[in-house]
Structures are given as C-alpha cells and as structure tokens.
Structure 1
Amino acid sequence: MSLWTNISTAAARLFGPPNQDDGNGRAANVDEAKLVAALVALGAKMAKADGQVRREDILAFRQVFRTDPQTEATIGRFFDLARQTTLGFERYARIVAKAFRAQPGILEDVMDGLFHIALADGIVTQDEAEFLETVSRVFGFSEREFKRIKSGHLGQDADDPYLILGVDPDISDSNLKRAYRRQAAANHPDRLMARGLPKEMVGLATHKMAIINRAYAQILDERKSRKPRLA
C-alpha cells in the first residue's frame, strides 16, 4: 500500500466515526494516526509559512493530501487549526522522519508535496525556503541533497548539472551514467504513479525528469567537446 493510500485510509480512521476499526475488528493504529496527523499538520503549516494561507494553498494541500469525502470536512477543521501558526512544524517533521527513516524515497515524496504547496502562488518566499530547508534537514537530507530536490522544482542552479544529478564533477563516465539512471528511475512518473501519488504530483515528476534529462545531456555535451579530436 502506498504512502498516499495510507494517508487516505488512516485519515478515515483518525477523523471518521468514533471507535472505527480497520475492518478486522482492530482499532486504528495509534502510530499510524499520529503519522497522518503529522502529515496534515506539516502541510497546513507549510501553507502558513509565508504568513498568509490563500485559496491556492488550500487547493494545493487538497491535491496532495487527499482523503475520503466523508472525512474531508473534519480534515479541513484540523487543517484550519494547524494553519494558525507555523510553530511546532519541526516536531511534526520528526514524526514523519521517524516513520520513514529507512525509506528516503518516501521522504522525498513528502518534500515534493511541500514544494507543491509552497509554489501554489507561483513563488517561494524566503520564509517558505527556510521552512523547506529545515524540514529537509530533519528528514536527514544533506545540504547538497536538498539543493538537488529544490532544483527539481525551482529550476535553480540549472547551470550546475552535476548538482542536479547529485554527483561530483570528476565522476567517471560510467558512474555518471549509473547516477543518472538512479535519478531517472527514482523520479520517473510511472514509478511515482505506482506509489500512488496524485496526478498533480505526477505532473511535478514530469517536470523533474525534464530537468534531470537536460542536466545529463549537458554534461555529456561538455565532456564530448573536451575530448581531443583525431588528427
């Protein structure tokens, strides 16, 4: 079951009728409920990071954190409560980080969702950038990894294709090819669809893939131009 399906399922348990079980006579898992609450709160506080929660932010949140229609109103009330302030967002980030510490790909999916919310109004402010960088650090991503993730959304550092691929300039051609294939596989829209990401997130993946492909092509062109020509 994907992260995003888990969010929907667990949210139904957390915000649904009292004493709702999982269909097998078991009560909703407390840790799972805590994780859902943390994800919803983190998304709400991301929407608040620039000081004002706009309609675009709310729509972006709903696109990323989809829930059962029966629980949407209650999720909305929880969102409204969490979006009042950004205080406490690091604590929620730590809950998510702990749940997926062995699955960095899922943590990057969450980062993609937060970037989607931050970009709802077309720009990422300094406060939003600091929020995202802090969450990334809590998730265990290095500074370089965060720059790579950010470049996939903002197109920044596009003049450094090595950064986009997360490699050093002196990497061998064979290792460069392997690094490119890893990045392409991890961000391919089909792979993300298999993980159950909403279609809006798949659109972001297509954008990221274009940046990754462009970076790899740029490096290959540069290296080809540097090779000595035969007399």
Structure 2
Amino acid sequence: MWGKLLGAMFGMALFKWPGLLLGLLIGHWFDRSLRSSFEDSGGFAALKKDNSEAQGVFMYSTFAVMGHLAKADGVVTSAHIDKATEFMQQLGLNSKQQQEAQRAFREGKAADFPLLAQLALLKQSYRWRPDLLQLFLEIQISIAYVDAHLSAVEERLLQQLADALSISASRLQYLLGRYQAEARFAKRPRQAAAKSDTLQDAYQLLGVKPDCSESELKKAYKKQMAQHHPDKLMSQGLPAEMLELAKRKTQDIQAAYEMIKQNRS
C-alpha cells in the first residue's frame, strides 16, 4: 500500500497525470516485493517465535562446527577433545547436555557434514543479531588456537565461516589478534600490570593503540562491553548455557580497562 501511495505522489509531482499512473505501477511492484520478502522471513509469526529453536541451532552449530574445525588438519588431537570438554564444563552443561554437545561434535567431524547449510541456518536464525554471530566465530577461533598455532587449513576454514556469517576479512583478522591477546591476558596474574607485554595485551583486547586518547579508550571499552555484555546478549537470544562465557569475556574486558587506567594515572 505504502509503495503505491508514495509512488503516486512522486509520480504526480514530477510528471503530472502520466507520472501518477507510472508511480502506481512502480509502487505496486514494490509492495509485492516487500510483502514477498516479509512472508519469506516468516512474517509477524517470526517476530513472535520463541527463541528456543534459534538457541538450539546456536548450541548445535557451536559444537558441530567445533568438531569440523578440529578435524580441519585431518586428525582430531587430544588437545582438541580436551578443549571441547573444558568448554562444556565452563558452560556448566549437565550430563544430558554434554552428551548432546558430544554428539554434535562427532557429527561435525564427519566428512559429509553440511557445513555451509548449517552456517546458513545459524545466520538465518540470528540474521539481526551480529553480536551473537561474532561471538560464535570467537568460540571457533578458540578451538583453532588450541595448540597455540593456526594452520593454513584452519585459517581458510575460519575465513569460510566468517564469509558465511557476513563477517569481513578485516574483522576476522582483528578477532584473531584479539583472541590471542585475550588468551594471554586471562592467564596472567592481574598484579603483572607493570609488565609492558601484559599492558600491550590489555590494549589489544580493547582494540586500541597504547597512544590512544582517553576518549578513544573509553569509547573502545564501552563498545567491547556492549558487544559482550551478558544481559544484552541474553536479550538477543543467547542460549542460557552460554551466559558464563559472556560473563568471563566482560570480566576480562573490565580488568583490561582497569589495568590501563591504573597505568595511566
């Protein structure tokens, strides 16, 4: 309706009566295309849909793609299995949930695992939630770096994941560097604030240079907190099982910011 109305108004203003007819035709075509796209996405039913289905997709995709990535170099090492098990424990999964996660991990390792189809389903489920899609990619990066090394095959696969989720190559490179800094920072005692390498990791974790201004530092901190804050991610459909992961990330962000502030004071 709005397409025909606006089309008629603009057509009338530009070309008088012939423009009115042309505007109605263009507006009618626009209304049909818009309605078709809206119906394809599920219409109003999609807006009311319970998050449980999408959350199930997120959880299954997390462990299945984790398994696929672990098999990227041909062999799943004990380090990959230990990392996946540790991740399940960190999330506080109960025995049934762990069994489901292990099943997804095994299915992801299979040679015929439909990676692109699974990623397309994940993206469709969270198409308006880029922060959650980025968190998913961050989880997969942690598996790729389980041996503190990123092989060429693993890097190509991560790029494939990023492409499928509409995350740019430059963003992926930033997330790779950020993960390394985050992993090092999380392992070091907080009293190591005076060490230059620890401080450098804190800056990289926040995504800023050591010579950034106070306003740039604060802006970067707020942006990181907004992207990873548990309450925000939960409101966007983050599975409850992933809440602990979001909490740990915000704790590291907070600690990095406080370390930098103390060093600057």
TM-score (structure 1 length as normaliser)? 0.59
Q: Percent identity between the aligned chains?
A: 20
- Work out whether 1:124 is the aligned partner of 2:124: no
Q: Aligned residue for 1:183?
A: 224
CA 1:36/1:55 → structure 2, altered by over 3 Å: closer, same or farther? same
Q: Aligned residue for 2:61?
A: 38
- In structure 2, list runs of 5 or more residues that go unmatched: 1-51, 182-196
Letter in 2 for 1:54: T
Q: Aligned residue for 1:13?
A: none
Measured after TM superposition, the shift of residue 111 of structure 1 is 1.1
- Map 1:43-54 → 2, pairs under 5 A: 43-54=66-77
Contact 1:93 1:138 in 2 (8 A): yes
Q: Aligned residue for 2:185?
A: none
Contact 1:185 1:191 in 2 (8 A): yes
Measured after TM superposition, the shift of residue 103 of structure 1 is 0.9
Within 2, Cα distance between the matches of 1:151 and 1:203? Answer: 18
Measured after TM superposition, the shift of residue 126 of structure 1 is 1.0
Contact 1:41 1:83 in 2 (8 A): yes
CA 1:63/1:179 → structure 2, altered by over 3 Å: closer, same or farther? same
Q: Aligned residue for 1:79?
A: 105
- Work out whether 1:133 is the aligned partner of 2:156: no
Residue among 68, 79, 88 paired with 2:114: 88
- In structure 1, list runs of 5 or more residues that go unmatched: 1-28, 222-231
Letter in 1 for 2:115: F
Q: Aligned residue for 2:96?
A: 70
Letter in 2 for 1:59: D
Q: Aligned residue for 2:45?
A: none
RMSD: 4.4
Contact 1:165 1:212 in 2 (8 A): yes
Measured after TM superposition, the shift of residue 57 of structure 1 is 0.9
Within 1, Cα distance between the matches of 2:143 and 2:62? Answer: 13
Larger helix percent: 2
Contact 1:49 1:86 in 2 (8 A): no
Measured after TM superposition, the shift of residue 45 of structure 1 is 0.3
Contact 1:93 1:135 in 2 (8 A): yes
Q: Aligned residue for 1:22?
A: none
Taking CA–CA contacts closer than 8 Å with sequence separation of 6 or more, which of the two structures ends up with the larger relative contact order?
1
Within 1, Cα distance between the matches of 2:112 and 2:217? Answer: 40
Within 2, Cα distance between the matches of 1:112 and 1:179? Answer: 18
Q: Aligned residue for 1:26?
A: none
Contact 1:45 1:83 in 2 (8 A): yes
Residue among 124, 133, 150 paired with 1:107: 133
Measured after TM superposition, the shift of residue 122 of structure 1 is 2.1
After superposition, give the CA deviation of every residue in 1:28-60 in whole Å (9 maximum; x if it has no partner): x77665554433321210111122111221222
- Work out whether 1:60 is the aligned partner of 2:83: yes
CA 1:83/1:184 → structure 2, altered by over 3 Å: closer, same or farther? same
Measured after TM superposition, the shift of residue 184 of structure 1 is 4.0
Q: Aligned residue for 2:177?
A: 151
Contact 2:224 2:253 in 1 (8 A): no
Contact 1:189 1:206 in 2 (8 A): no
Within 2, Cα distance between the matches of 1:106 and 1:181? Answer: 17
